[in-house]
Amino acid sequence: MYRGELRSLDLISGSIDSVYRYIVANPDVEDRQLGVEYLADIIALSSPLSLSDICNLFTTDVRKHIAHLSAIVSLPPMDSPSSVQIYHSSLRDYLSTRSRSGDFYVDPAESHRRLAGLCLKLMRRQLNPEIREQKAISGALRYACLYWPYHIEAMSHSAENQALVFQFIQEQLPFFLEAFSLMGCFDLAVVRLTEASRVVSSWKLSHEQNTFPAVFDVVTKYLQLIPVYPIYPAVALSHASFCLTDPSALSTLKDTLDEVIDRHKYDGPLSWLLCHAHIRAEFHKVIDTTLRIQPDNARCRHMFFETCPPADCDVASLAFQLSSIFKSYDNVIDFFSQEDQNAQTLVDVLQAVRIRSTIDARSQRMFRYGLIQLAANSGRYAQCLQLRNINIKWEMRPIGHGGLSAVYKGNIETQPDVQLALKVIRMSDESYSKRNLQKFASEVTVWSQLRHPNILSFSGVFQGEGRRELYTISPYLSYGNICNYLEINPSANRTLLALDVAQALNFLHGWSPEIVHANINGSNILVSDTGRACLVDFESTTAKDRPLDAVTMSAKACLVGEDDDMTSELSSIAWMAPEIFDEGTFGRMVFTTKSDMYAFGGVCYELFCGKTPFRGLRDAVIIFRILRGRTPDRIDGPHVDDSVWAFMQQCWRKEPTERPTAKEAVEFFKARVLDSGMSIEPAEEWDYSIMDENLKQAERFLYLDPHPTPCGSSSGQEVLT
């Protein structure tokens, strides 16, 4: 038997056909013809699949039937993503030409018939309501959804496959569309259905089947015509075509849906988004009302409302409209200028898209940035971040305070052992309400998306009585900030704490878009119960390159002479980089990842020297020194050596590009920990269960209709509580 791999052929002597015949006719293999049929079907695939996906599609272990053919076809391991492929294209011609292959001839049309049946049966098994809970689909199901129209067009006649196609359009259509949304190529669903419609139209159909081509056409029409929620009219009309007994009811449904569409046909992407919940509600009302016309329409109503709950393809249509907006400068300006309920609608859309939609990395970055920017501009945060139906108790005396905020210790009434920290912002002064809301919305929007062991977890937002108090909820850490911790634990491993902070910054700076904390200092670094540092206070945090308008009021007041008595212990001036005070940017306070690293140098000073930078000096003096390139004085002690001091000096370089990156800081302190003979255990992961339960409610708020009449203008309506 020929045991070599037939990658290239030397045909000087003998024929390639004799080589193929020798291999496929192996007398040691039972049922050789079945193995050849499997091989021919694999060759007929429109796109190669891995061995595991082929076995999933064929519902059998194909490998045992074609293992003896490994000389002419690659057979990677079952767990390998590599595809099964023939080594030479001449094998396809050999098997499909009767005069060459003789008894081993396989009719290509029969291979396509078998593959069409396999694709349709796989979709019948796996395209069901459970697909909505999946984050991805298998390679076999992806293939079936993409290529079943190709195979039914190329197949020989098959009454069984035709019946499967008709069953598909009646039962699997909504989940077929959902699958394409999960694959991130919803537009291809229309292409595939158009191809299927062309093929079905060429079949000889019975009287009962004559409606199927028209159903395909109606579905593809509405999928292309409607920018948001196209699945509702498309699926409703497909179901109605089969189960409405009164033809006039079907005509009424179609006409009424067309009226809804006509009312919005001149709207742009922003208007479609602002009106999306209203449009969806209109679709539902029209469909529900029409399908109630006759008593025997109960099955049709059940089919529609059972197969069309909120779905990923809905969110995908909203994501497409968002992408259209972000491609136009004028649309972007309009988008970020929205206020009140319009802004709330857009924030909730962005949040739902970010959580559920299968989108590429570029769009994910764009939507994250859009969510952060819009929240900061409008003072609106996603409604799903707000804790509801949870009773929280807290102590009357604050455990910390500053400015308009205070921090209290509390717990959930039903879980008294779970201690929480509640940071409250009181908006008693009307002149500061809007600015405080903007800062609050920006903080919770950024913080809620950050998950890292060295960043304090965010549990949600709690709204006090009368809407005059807003709380952020997070775990309570008894050790407090890093300065307090070192006072009571002077022998703590300061290098490990510095590594923890560096890892948090490395995570922020490596995020997409890059996140700048903009307020790094010892008071904003807490210590967990296991003695590990974690970053907090994202009030000033911003996406890279977005200027912070007066986020540090003490700095501005100091430069204009309004707060000359403020010392460095009451502000963050001593941790600010010199470029922050540059005359050309000062009104806009542009923070960067490099200014974060300057501040990290100040944190290292607190850790290893045990003092705050420029301790005892007034802010005006500190700013003058920073602008002159002066750095804090070295304080010798048991924790400071030349290497650490040199690293701090590098962080304090006046030229931002000369400062180390957060990644370099991680490498520096990791090496010091290892050199000391200690191992580095990762910090314990946080419990995000409270926030995860809230995020599951994102779609609940997405589909609330804030515009019963008319759609598109700000109603001034309060958000749901």
**pLDDT confidence of residue 467:** 56
- Split at pLDDT 50, 70, 90, the class of 396 is confident
**pLDDT confidence of residue 217:** 82
Q: Are 576 and 595 in contact (CB under 8 A)?
A: yes
Closest to 708 in 3D by CA, of 697, 721, 717: 717
Query: Rounded to an integer, what distance in angstroms lies between the CA atom of residue 165 and that of residue 160?
Result: 9
Which tokens sit at 40?
A: 């021919």
What percent of the chain is predicted at pLDDT more than 70?
A: 83
Of 267 and 29, the structure prediction assigns the larger pLDDT to 267
Whether residue 716 has pLDDT greater than 70: no
- Split at pLDDT 50, 70, 90, the class of 434 is confident
From the CB of residue 108, how many other CB atoms can be counted at a distance below 10 Å? 17
- Indicate the range of 49-53, 110-114, 698-702 predicted with least confidence: 698-702
Whether residue 381 has pLDDT greater than 90: yes
- Indicate the range of 137-141, 235-239, 272-276, 504-508 predicted with least confidence: 235-239
One DSSP character per residue, 44-111 reads H-SS--BHHHHHHHHTS-THHHHGGGTTTB----TT--PBP-BS-THHHHHHT-HHHHGGG---HHHH
Closest to 651 in 3D by CA, of 576, 585, 545: 576
- Indicate the range of 206-220, 445-459, 665-679 predicted with least confidence: 206-220
- Split at pLDDT 50, 70, 90, the class of 300 is low
Whether residue 307 has pLDDT greater than 90: no
3-state secondary structure of 414: coil
Residue holding tokens 């930078």? 613
Query: Rounded to an integer, what distance in angstroms lies between the CA atom of residue 472 and that of residue 479?
Result: 19
Whether residue 29 has pLDDT greater than 70: no
What CATH code is assigned to 386-476?
3.30.200.20
Beta-carbon contacts of 31 under 8 Å, excluding residues fewer than 6 positions away, are: 65
Whether residue 298 has pLDDT greater than 80: no
- Per-residue model confidence as pLDDT tens digits over 598-639: 999 999 999 999 999 998 888 889 998 999 889 999 988 889
Query: Rounded to an integer, what distance in angstroms lies between the CA atom of residue 338 and that of residue 344?
Result: 9
Which tokens sit at 720?
A: 């749901």
Residue 653 CA to its chain's centroid (Å): 37
- 386-476 and 480-687 have identical folds: no
Query: Rounded to an integer, what distance in angstroms lies between the CA atom of residue 422 and that of residue 407?
Result: 5
**pLDDT confidence of residue 245:** 67
- Per-residue model confidence as pLDDT tens digits over 169-198: 888 888 898 888 888 788 888 899 999 988
Does the domain at 480-687 match CATH 1.10.510.10? Answer given as yes
Kindly list the domain boundaries of the chain, sorted by start residue. Answer: 16-106, 118-308, 386-476, 480-687
From the CB of residue 339, how many other CB atoms can be counted at a distance below 10 Å? 14
Mean pLDDT on 439-454: 92
- Per-residue model confidence as pLDDT tens digits over 114-172: 999 999 999 999 998 788 777 778 999 999 999 999 999 999 888 899 889 988 888 88
- Per-residue model confidence as pLDDT tens digits over 66-98: 988 889 999 999 999 999 999 988 999 999 999
- Per-residue model confidence as pLDDT tens digits over 529-579: 999 999 998 877 776 544 444 333 333 333 333 333 333 334 689 999 999
Query: Rounded to an integer, what distance in angstroms lies between the CA atom of residue 500 and that of residue 600?
Result: 12
